[in-house]
Amino acid sequence: MPEDTQPLWSHRYLTDGSLKIAPVSQVAGPVRTPWQRFVDWVVRQDWLAACGYWWRGLTAGQKWLSGTVIAVVTAYLGLPFLWLAAWVARRRERIAESASLPKNVPPPPEITLAAWDTIEARVAGAASRAWAETLAEPSWQSAYLSRTRESFDGWSEVRQIVDLAIRIQQARGNLGARPTGPAAEFWDRQQIALDDAARRLGSRADALIRHRDQAAALTIELQHLVDLERMERSAAEVDVLTIETTYGSGRGDGGLTSVAEDIAAVRQAMTDLVELMTRTRAPLTEPPDVNH
């Protein structure tokens, strides 16, 4: 089988030894009103405890004076009671929220998918790992890939793969256990069809994996370029020292010609890698084929 057609996802789907799949979506929490945010702030201040410590640190005379002031302020403004009422109201609200929470919350679909450890689960895990590793590559933040970062949303591709994998897994669940009798043959054909769909989805995960490998190769080339440019800067100084410490040796170029040629070769290699990454992403611009 040619190298470009060999599946990569089948042995690159584990992250730190376990199957981890990126979440399909991030669910935002409920929007809180300004009053709710104010009450939350009041509760976070722990003002009752602070008042208690402050009161305990006062002398008898200070306590008498402070008590008088508080009584006067309370009589006219009632501010301490407002703070206390806000704290009590928030406490009651939290108790009510806890009581209303469902007791058996189903796990996110990607967690259920990973637990099945089927073909589609491994494909989703491989895609999730590939893009996470791509983002971790230093080359991804380099100027060479600035256009790629603007034009290619890898997380969107991962979410699409995970979503399709979840749908395949749900179809398996709907088939249920293998029946007996004539229905068993139909069940087998359906399972084979789902396996084929999952493997076709694997080709998209493989594109992300190859894209990640090319980003890793570009990181290596970038480091080579940094090293060569440092050698180029030091070559002139080495040449001067050679002339000043050697009689009749001639000026020479301190190896500048060779270093410049190496730098040009590395830069060309990086250009070729960026073009290769662009071609690798090309299949991801087409709709996924999992139906045939």
Chain segment 53-67, per-residue pLDDT in tens? 666 677 877 778 877
Closest-CA residue to 145 (of 276, 3, 18): 276
pLDDT at position 277 = 82
Instruction: State the pLDDT confidence band at 291, using cuts at 50, 70 and 90.
Output: low
Chain segment 73-86, per-residue pLDDT in tens? 666 655 556 666 66
Alpha helices in the chain (DSSP H): 34-44, 47-56, 60-76, 79-100, 109-116, 119-136, 146-151, 154-175, 183-245, 256-281
pLDDT at position 28 = 39
Domain boundaries, the chain: 34-100, 107-285
Average pLDDT, the chain: 78
Chain segment 168-213, per-residue pLDDT in tens? 999 999 999 999 888 999 999 999 999 999 999 999 999 999 999 9
pTM assigned to the model: 0.64
CB contact set of 21 (below 8 Å; sequence gap of 6+): 110, 111, 113, 114, 121, 124, 125, 128, 162, 165
**Residue 255: DSSP 8-state:** T
The sign of the dihedral angle between the CA atoms of 167, 160, 276, 265 is negative
Chain segment 224-255, per-residue pLDDT in tens? 888 887 877 777 677 667 766 664 444 455 55
Instruction: State the pLDDT confidence band at 113, using cuts at 50, 70 and 90.
Output: very high
User: 3-state SS of 181-212?
Assistant: CCHHHHHHHHHHHHHHHHHHHHHHHHHHHHHH
Instruction: State the pLDDT confidence band at 271, using cuts at 50, 70 and 90.
Output: confident
Q: Are 140 and 126 in contact (CB under 8 A)?
A: no
Q: Is residue 91 pLDDT above 60, yes or no? A: yes
Which one has a higher pLDDT value, 7 or 266? 7
Query: Residue 47 CA to chain centroid, in angstroms?
Result: 38
Query: Averaged over 89-99, what is the pLDDT?
Result: 65
Query: Averaged over 36-44, what is the pLDDT?
Result: 60
From first CA to last CA, the distance across the chain in angstroms is 22
Give CB contacts under 8 A, 24+ apart, made by 76-83.
83/42, 83/47
Cα–Cα distance, 132 to 281 (Å, whole number): 16
Q: Are 140 and 217 in contact (CB under 8 A)?
A: no
| 117-126, 198-207, 259-268: range with lowest mean pLDDT | 259-268
In which residue are the tokens 């690159």 written? 12
